[in-house]
Structure 1
Amino acid sequence: MKEFAYSRAADVRDALTAAAGDRGVRYLGGGTNLVDLMKCGVEAPTRLVDVRRLPLDGVRDAPDGGLVIGATTTNSDLAAHPEVRRRFPALSQAVLAGASGQLRNMATVGGNLLQRTRCGYFADLASPCNKRAAGSGCAAITGVHHNHAVLGHSEHCVATHPSDMAVALAAFDAVVRYETVDGPAEIPLSRFYRPVGDRPDLENALPPGALITAIALPGSAASPRSRYRKVRERASYAFAIVSVAAALDLRDGLVHDARIALGGVASRPWRATSAEAVLRGARPTPDRFRLAADAALSTAEPLRDNGYKVPLARNLIPAVLDELVGTENER
């Protein structure tokens, strides 16, 4: 690990000032991803600005019936919060599925959104990786890629986004709030992550030096009948092969609204809007759920060794929706 300077921010303005104009600065929250990347040489910041003690933690009610989640809230506190479990249960389930208790106790909400891919080539400095070094190539395309993307990838990168939490946030129309030296701003999570394109190293739309301060969940997205299901290679904590965050609003025997996001299949949380459109206004039947799954995977382009993800996701989506219908019928 290369030498670096360290400072602890006294407040948000102090943190922003320390990072202004210096692309070598990184904000340090829980450090559960950043420190690992520093150890293997992928990240080599000149300075770490510790924001863990800033008053940005906690979950509070929003005027519209939603929730505002502070960026330094730990994953453990988020998953255990009673209002998160009541209004957005899929989010709590996603966080619990994402890591061990020890990691959840350290990891922060803001840091979770910014974690980097777990592609083996990204962490291997001897291998080309456009996400790590733009223009160097993508070793995964012809190499080991059984757990890589089947949706939204490009000839420049086929890596997947590792976050479980972000998949549930995508389904709930989350908004990322941040601050720069010019003041506060926000961006919908649907536009927070950039498409891969020809610059996979540019992963999100945050301005340089911006500090995430909170995540807002709108009251219109609250769904007590929501679920997160994750398929992984082992029973202990592992990154998703495929995951589904889904919510259904049933009224008078029809699907009034549907929310579906997929994980483990793209470089960012994948909102399955085409599947949602198939469900809205229809009866919640197994046949309709299968049609929705077909729509969600209609643009899939599997690689040589990861085609299994397509039928896996095609089966997982109806299974989660069936569970939600069963839960509604028990009310």
Structure 2
Amino acid sequence: MNNFDYVRACDVAEAVKMKAATPHAKFIAGGTNLIDLMKYHVEQPRRLIDISRLPLTAVEETSAGGVRIGALVPNSTLAYHSLIESRYPLLASAILAGASAQLRNMASTGGNLLQRTRCAYFYDVATPCNKRTPGAGCSATGGLNRNHAILGASADCIATHPSDMCVALAALNATVQVTGAQGERAIPFADFHRLPGDRPDLDNTLRADEIILAVVLPPQGFAANHSYLKLRDRLSYAFALVSVAAALELDGGRIGEARLALGGVAHKPWRNEAAENALRGQAPGHEAFGRAADILLKDARHVAHNAFKVPLARRAIIRTLTQAASGTPQIQSIKTIR
């Protein structure tokens, strides 16, 4: 780990000013991802700006009927918060599917959004990686790529986004509130993370001096019919091969509203509104769910070692929608798939 300066911001305005003054600085809160990256020399910030004392820890209802989650709310606090458990259980379930209890105690809401890929080549500074060094090449395309993307990848990068929480936030149509030198703005969750294109080093659409203030959930939480299913190599503390967040609103035995998001398959949580539109007005069942899965996966492209992800994702989509429709969501403390 390289030497670095450490400072603590007293308020949001000071944090923004500090970041703008030192382009290579990094904000640190829980540090559950950043410290690892520093140890591996993937990140080498000249300064760490500690934001852990900023007043961004509230979970509160909004005037529009939704919920605003402060950027520094720990994952464990959020998963068990009464507003989230009762109104947005899909989000609570996704959080509990991720990492370990110890990491969830430290990891923050804003930090979860900013996680970087767990691609082994990204972490290995001895190998070329366009995400780490633009123009260096992608070692994963010709290497061991079993865990890599089947959707939205490019010739420059086939890495996947690691978060579980973000998959649920994508399905819930969350909004990310940020501020910087140019003032505050709200970023729709679908626009927050980027696909790799020819700039895989850019994970998201945050400006260099911006800080996340909060994540805002809309009123509709799909509390009655939802499920988060995570398929992985081992039953705990592993990143998803494929994960699915499904949320349905049923009306008279038919689907009135549908949300679907995939994790473990792309550079960002993956949604396709055409798949959701295909479910609306349909009777819930294997046939309708299969059609939606086919639409969601129609552009899937595999590389040498991850072809299995395509049929795995299809089965996972159908299973998760079935769980949601029947009101029997996957329980994260019980690893057997329902």
In the superposition, the TM-score normalised over structure 2's length comes to: 0.95
Distance 1:123 1:16 in 2: 28
State the 1:67 CA deviation. 0.7
Aligned to 2:209: 209
State the 1:273 CA deviation. 1.9
Provide the secondary structure at the position in 1 that maps to 2:142.
coil
Distance 1:311 1:277 in 2: 22
Identity over aligned pairs, percent: 51
Q: Is the 8 A contact 1:5 1:47 kept in 2?
A: yes
Letter in 2 for 1:187: I
Q: Is the 8 A contact 1:117 1:160 kept in 2?
A: yes
Structure 1 residue 306 corresponds to structure 2 residue 306 = yes
Matches within 5 A, 1:1-16: 1-16=1-16
Which digits, 9 at most, give the CA deviation of each residue in 1:128-161, with x for residues without a partner? 0000000000000010100100000000000000
Letter in 2 for 1:45: P
Letter in 2 for 1:28: I
Aligned to 1:96: 96
State the 1:110 CA deviation. 0.3
Cα RMSD after superposing both structures: 1.1
Provide the secondary structure at the position in 1 that maps to 2:140.
coil
Structure 1 residue 125 corresponds to structure 2 residue 125 = yes
Letter in 2 for 1:140: A
Distance 2:177 2:231 in 1: 30
Letter in 2 for 1:284: P
Aligned to 1:232: 232
Letter in 1 for 2:100: S
Distance 2:58 2:310 in 1: 38
Which digits, 9 at most, give the CA deviation of each residue in 1:190-234, with x for residues without a partner? 011122111100111111110001000111355442211100100
Aligned to 1:157: 157
State the 1:322 CA deviation. 1.0
Matches within 5 A, 1:132-281: 132-281=132-281
Structure 1 residue 112 corresponds to structure 2 residue 112 = yes
Structure 1, unmatched stretches of 5+, are: none
Provide the secondary structure at the position in 2 that maps to 1:314.
helix
Structure 1 residue 43 corresponds to structure 2 residue 46 = no
Runs of 4+ in 1 over 3 A off after TM superposition: 220-224
Aligned length: 328
Q: Is the 8 A contact 2:161 2:264 kept in 1?
A: yes
Q: Is the 8 A contact 2:222 2:247 kept in 1?
A: no
Between 188-197 and 159-168, report the one with greater CA deviation.
188-197
Provide the secondary structure at the position in 2 that maps to 1:69.
strand
Q: Is the 8 A contact 1:177 1:186 kept in 2?
A: yes
